[in-house]
A and B are shown apart, each in its own frame.
Chain A
Amino acid sequence: MSKTKKFGFYVHLPFCIKKCHYCDFLSFSQWEENLVNLYVGRLVTEILNLNNSHMVLDTIYFGGGTPSSIPPYFIKKIVESIEKHFDIAKDAERTIELNPATGLQSSIAQYKEMGFNRVSVGLQSAENHLLTLLGRAHLYEDFLRTYEMLSEEGFQNLSVDVMYGLPEQSLSDLVRTIKAVTDLENIKHISAYSLILENNTVLAQRVEKGQLVLPTEEDERKAHYLLREELMNKGFAQYEISNYAQPGYESRHNSGYWRLKPYYGVGLGAASFVDDVRYQTETSMHAYLNEGVTPIRKAERHPSTQELMEDYMMLGLRMTEGIHIEKFREKFLIGLDEVFGKKINGLIEKGFLQLKDKRLFLTEKGQDFENYVNLTLMSSKGETE
């Protein structure tokens, strides 16, 4: 009999009320309740067919899309099937993503009832001109109202998403946004993403046409450093490249990804990582809804030990805590230096990595060149140290 393992659980709901101008995720903004009904039905079947032995769910995360854009009884149906099928840890972190434009008081109350104890709110900016530019369906005032409702219903562990590196975003815009969110006491966690211009998005087209101008890399980095410093002053520590939290409020769910912990992902295109194999659920909505399509989840990749070690490094280094040398040895039964020694030394010499108290982590410079560090650590096909 094997030991009980802690699992993460992700539910993907690809529905929105409106597609944002920077978004290239597969999501449906013009949906009918019937589609959602079919989708949720299929999702429940998917959940009930998962292997549930020897595991306990430690975190549950409803993401999208915008989970709050569909009626709460669908959410409830999904939560009930998860609870029916799986053991869930008593102190499990249960997060739901919420768009300020869709947060009705009644829904929020129901989320609380369903057992959610953490809400991630997609604010992006406290400046209305930037919200319009991003094509968000809400204004700053909507966010404030949502915050009030969440607090009223007793949610005390809130996270907000903030974006920087936006066209027409001044440093003072950013400072104002930071102040606006850090002044609210129930906000314990902030995800801050630098804008990535994805092909075929409204924003990309407008930049291409010259209607919008992206900040220079210098300005983008300035914003990044400023944000990091401002947040630190307000008691939010950077614990991951794009994530900041008050002590004890780091996202357990996301940390699971970065530590190579196992997780299930259900819903259209969701990724799973089970017994060191990476899976992906069907990515076509049509096929997903078609009961005849099997398997609904395909093994995408059987990583070799070398690949797993590399993944462990590139994900672990995203955390400011970095990689614990002893934990690496425990997991892979080999020393970090035996696998990556030469490369790590090179990166330390160049000032990208630092080794301290048996922890290997990115320096500030290393954070700016995380991708380069990953590329260096990654072996080419057939290459060995």
Chain B
Amino acid sequence: MIKKENIRNFSIIAHIDHGKSTLADRLIETTGLISKRDLTEQMLDNMDIEKERGITIKLQAVRLNYVAKDGEEYILNLIDTPGHVDFNYEVSRSLAACEGAILVVDASQGIEAQTIANVYLALENDLEIVPVINKIDLPSASPDAVKEEIENIIGIDAQEAPLISAKENINIVDVLEAIVHQVPAPTGDEKAPLKALIFDSYYDQYRGVIASVRIVEGSVKAGMGIRMMSVGEDFEVDEVGHFEHGLMPTQELRAGEVGYINAGIKNVRDSRVGDTITSSENPASEPLPGYKQVTPMVYCGIYPADGARYEDLKEALAKLQLNDAALLYEQETSVALGFGFRCGFLGLLHMEIVQERLEREFNLDLVTTAPSVIYQIVKVDGTQMEVDNPTNLPDVTEIKEMKEPIVLATLMLPSDYLGAVMELCQERRGEYINMEYIEANRVSLHYLLPLNEIIYDFYDALKSRTRGYASLDYELKEYRPSDLVKLDILLKGEAVDALSFIVHREKAATRGRAIAKKLKESIPRQMFEIPIQAAIGSKIIARETISALRKDVLAKCYGGDITRKRKLLEKQKEGKKRMRQVGSVEVPQEAFMAVLKLDS
């Protein structure tokens, strides 16, 4: 029987690369949950893509037993959080399940934008922040400067912050002691009606949905009837337990504890992050605060490169969605690309991850169209509509007003790059809000930016202009009326629906020219001339021409070396298979993404 006073529920907040996963590994290893030998590097991130990108997408939890220096045994529940702006809401829910958060800061890099955003989320949830300074073994480490930075920016005392190296296993016990002494024990009435916060849920193909929960009030055990308060569905609990080395069943979960509930739920949509689980028989009167249904901000079309694989793509999306409540998709048809899906994502990273998983885990070859945000349209007849696909935009004559989403962006960067970044934000129609020096040579910059300027190549441009030193975070601020137009791209006089996009009128000409040029580079010459035009309505604003191929002949035959010729032809044949036929023009897959790679 665990004493509530000896439970500590905490998360780790860190910027990508600052060592969160390594620290988590060390905590697990030091408390002896898993021997060093069994510890696969960075065990909390267990999807391949996460490991490769060094980021956490799906959060998880783990329960550690620790005998502290005061001789008491403590239960430490580490709740992992995703480390990216796209998953802000999931982060906020996992923080809501904790009483404290370890803030890991790189001893040489200092605090980054994303870290601050998460610290604020933690503070909003009344979490105790425990600063930890990592990578002190690096020659460039300057822990004192970083301490000062933490105090200046976040306003918490960092003088006693453990100085550690997760990689070199230095001072890890200090972190454990800090958790025990600084993070408050959970409170909550075990006798009250059940209130359990879902902070994660994933689909297991054998057991159905496993919901990760923090019991805030009351208790839950197998056989009990439960209700998802927002979704309104009832289920019967099959099993409850803790996260140890895998799932460890237990009799009961009580207020203050972190664990899982398995209740024969078939879809993560019925077990949404942020929802409150209560008892069917003795329901709580109010759900826990803070639930919202996550809505996609970015949309794009996803098509199988080989039209015959439409059904495979459909099946793959269905499987991914079982585990990803934020992924939306519905069937759409494109004249150019055939049958495919319009998919909604939390952000660009989420989009890239889904594409990558479809290609890797399901072995699909995809054609994706340029991403779009949701535009609000007020029509002349007074009705309103939302458009996430430029193709569905009504005729100009029917549109009274168009509104686009504006985000509040926070950029943190070395002051050397201030000029370059401000210039980039101006180019992207940014509206300067303010700026503050966090340190002598580090700046936090705030801009209002149209989301549709960020989703193309903003990250890439930011990275290349600051040599990777700037970080970005953003949140949706509002919808604003804007002078937007639909830009069509015509190949051989025919508009290609999959290449249309919506852009601000002032930028239409530049962007149209850039895209026409890019397409000229990416579409190979064919046996006829191919005019590429960019048009707003019937007005052509840019034109390029791909001249006709005059010959396609292999003059020399390499003596008797037919094999060489054959190999050459086979390679060409493979290349052709990766083309889409648009009217009479063969268009390579990359061309559909041309709009994304214009780095200006």
Residues of A bordering B, CB below 8 Å = 8, 10, 63, 193-194, 196, 217-218, 220-221, 224, 241-242, 257-258, 263, 265, 270-273, 278, 280, 300-301, 307, 311, 314-315, 318, 367-372, 374-375, 378, 380
Q: Are A194 and B550 in contact (CB under 8 A)?
A: no
CA distance A205 to B88 in the complex (A): 52
CA distance A63 to B559 in the complex (A): 9
Q: Which residue, B555, B560, B562, has most C-beta atoms of chain A within 10 A?
A: B560
Chain B residue with Cβ nearest A222: B550
Q: Are A318 and B560 in contact (CB under 8 A)?
A: no
User: A371: which of B553, B561, B562 is its contact (CB, 8 Å)?
Assistant: B553
User: A257: which of B550, B555, B562, B572 is its contact (CB, 8 Å)?
Assistant: B562
Using A194-B555, A375-B576 as known contacts, list a sample of 9 further A-B pairs with CB atoms less than 8 Å apart, ordered by residue number in A.
A10-B560, A221-B551, A224-B551, A257-B562, A280-B563, A300-B563, A315-B562, A371-B553, A375-B573
Chain B residues with CB under 8 A of A300: 563
Chain A residue with Cβ nearest B549: A217
Chain B residue with Cβ nearest A220: B551
Chain B nearest Cβ from A26, distance in angstroms: 12
Chain A residues with CB under 8 A of B467: none
Quick one: which of B557-575 are within 8 Å of A by CB? 557, 559-563, 565-566, 569-570, 572-573
Chain A residues with CB under 8 A of B70: none
CA distance A271 to B565 in the complex (A): 12
Chain A nearest Cβ from B567, distance in angstroms: 9
Number of A-B contacts (CB under 8 A): 86
Chain A residues with CB under 8 A of B550: 217-218, 220-221, 368
Chain B nearest Cβ from A8, distance in angstroms: 8
Chain A residue with Cβ nearest B558: A271
Complex A-B: 6 CB contacts under 8 Å: A218-B550, A265-B560, A271-B562, A278-B563, A318-B557, A368-B553
Judged by DSSP, the binding face of B is loop
Q: Are B553 and A367 in contact (CB under 8 A)?
A: yes
Indicate whether A371 sits within 8 Å of B552 (C-beta atoms), given known contacts A318-B557, A378-B569, A380-B577.
yes
Indicate whether A278 sits within 8 Å of B552 (C-beta atoms), given known contacts A375-B573, A378-B569.
no
Chain B nearest Cβ from A348, distance in angstroms: 16
Q: Are A257 and B563 in contact (CB under 8 A)?
A: no
Chain B nearest Cβ from A276, distance in angstroms: 12
CA distance A370 to B569 in the complex (A): 11
Asked if B556 is at the interface of the complex by the 8 Å CB criterion, the answer is: yes
Q: Are B573 and A380 in contact (CB under 8 A)?
A: yes
Chain B residues with CB under 8 A of A10: 559-560
Chain A residues with CB under 8 A of B572: 371, 375
Chain B residues with CB under 8 A of A224: 551
Q: Are A257 and B557 in contact (CB under 8 A)?
A: yes
Q: Are B560 and A273 in contact (CB under 8 A)?
A: yes
Asked if B440 is at the interface of the complex by the 8 Å CB criterion, the answer is: no
Chain A residues with CB under 8 A of B561: 271, 280
CA distance A220 to B573 in the complex (A): 25
Q: Are B554 and A371 in contact (CB under 8 A)?
A: yes
Considering only CB atoms and an 8 Å cut-off, how many residues of chain B contact the other chain?
Answer: 23
Chain A residues with CB under 8 A of B551: 217, 220-221, 224, 368-369
Chain A residues with CB under 8 A of B552: 368-372
Chain B residues with CB under 8 A of A368: 550-553
Quick one: which of B478-530 are within 8 Å of A by CB? 527
Chain A residue with Cβ nearest B572: A375
Q: Which residue, B550, B553, B557, has most C-beta atoms of chain A within 10 A?
A: B553
CA distance A314 to B568 in the complex (A): 13
Q: Are B562 and A196 in contact (CB under 8 A)?
A: no
Closest A-B pairs by Cβ, 7 of them? A217-B550, A370-B553, A371-B552, A271-B561, A271-B560, A368-B551, A194-B555
Chain B residues with CB under 8 A of A63: 559
Chain A residues with CB under 8 A of B563: 271, 278, 280, 300-301
CA distance A10 to B558 in the complex (A): 13
CA distance A272 to B560 in the complex (A): 7
Indicate whether A193 sits within 8 Å of B556 (C-beta atoms), given known contacts A372-B527, A378-B569.
yes
Q: Are B562 and A370 in contact (CB under 8 A)?
A: no
CA distance A318 to B556 in the complex (A): 10
Q: Are B559 and A257 in contact (CB under 8 A)?
A: yes
Chain B nearest Cβ from A180, distance in angstroms: 21
CA distance A59 to B475 in the complex (A): 78
Q: Which residue, B559, B565, B569, B576, has most C-beta atoms of chain A within 10 A?
A: B559
Chain B residue with Cβ nearest A303: B566
CA distance A10 to B559 in the complex (A): 9
Q: Are A271 and B573 in contact (CB under 8 A)?
A: no
Quick one: which of B537-552 are within 8 Å of A by CB? 549-552
User: B527: which of A241, A270, A314, A369 is its contact (CB, 8 Å)?
Assistant: A369
Chain A nearest Cβ from B9, distance in angstroms: 56
Chain B residue with Cβ nearest A221: B550
Chain A nearest Cβ from B459, distance in angstroms: 33
Chain B residues with CB under 8 A of A280: 561, 563
Q: Are A196 and B556 in contact (CB under 8 A)?
A: yes
Chain A nearest Cβ from B169, distance in angstroms: 50
User: B562: which of A193, A194, A273, A375 is its contact (CB, 8 Å)?
Assistant: A273
Q: Are B555 and A196 in contact (CB under 8 A)?
A: yes
Q: Are A369 and B553 in contact (CB under 8 A)?
A: yes
Indicate whether A378 sits within 8 Å of B573 (C-beta atoms), given known contacts A257-B562, A311-B562, A368-B550.
yes
Chain A residues with CB under 8 A of B556: 193, 196, 242
Chain A nearest Cβ from B27, distance in angstroms: 51
Chain B nearest Cβ from A72, distance in angstroms: 23
Chain A nearest Cβ from B227, distance in angstroms: 53
Chain A residues with CB under 8 A of B557: 242, 257-258, 315, 318
For B79-103 the 0/1 string (1 means CB < 8 A from A) is 0000000000000000000000000
CA distance A270 to B561 in the complex (A): 8
CA distance A125 to B561 in the complex (A): 26
Chain B residue with Cβ nearest A307: B566
Chain B residues with CB under 8 A of A193: 555-556
CA distance A258 to B562 in the complex (A): 9
Chain B residues with CB under 8 A of A257: 557, 559-560, 562
Chain B residues with CB under 8 A of A278: 562-563
User: B555: which of A242, A263, A314 is its contact (CB, 8 Å)?
Assistant: A242
CA distance A140 to B559 in the complex (A): 26
CA distance A336 to B205 in the complex (A): 53
Chain A nearest Cβ from B501, distance in angstroms: 33
CA distance A260 to B570 in the complex (A): 19
CA distance A63 to B556 in the complex (A): 15
Chain A residues with CB under 8 A of B565: 314
User: B560: which of A263, A301, A372, A374 is its contact (CB, 8 Å)?
Assistant: A263
CA distance A314 to B569 in the complex (A): 11
CA distance A241 to B557 in the complex (A): 10
CA distance A226 to B552 in the complex (A): 18
CA distance A300 to B550 in the complex (A): 34
Chain A residues with CB under 8 A of B562: 257, 271, 273, 278, 311, 315
Chain B residues with CB under 8 A of A380: 573, 577
User: B569: which of A8, A217, A242, A374 is its contact (CB, 8 Å)?
Assistant: A374
CA distance A193 to B549 in the complex (A): 19
CA distance A273 to B565 in the complex (A): 14
CA distance A367 to B550 in the complex (A): 11
Chain A nearest Cβ from B376, distance in angstroms: 46
CA distance A315 to B551 in the complex (A): 18
Chain B residue with Cβ nearest A269: B561
Chain B residue with Cβ nearest A163: B555
CA distance A318 to B560 in the complex (A): 14
CA distance A372 to B525 in the complex (A): 13
CA distance A370 to B566 in the complex (A): 13
Chain B residues with CB under 8 A of A218: 550
Q: Which residue, A273, A374, A378, has most C-beta atoms of chain B within 10 A?
A: A374
CA distance A220 to B550 in the complex (A): 9
CA distance A378 to B568 in the complex (A): 12
CA distance A371 to B553 in the complex (A): 5
Chain B nearest Cβ from A150, distance in angstroms: 23
Chain A nearest Cβ from B415, distance in angstroms: 41
CA distance A295 to B330 in the complex (A): 59
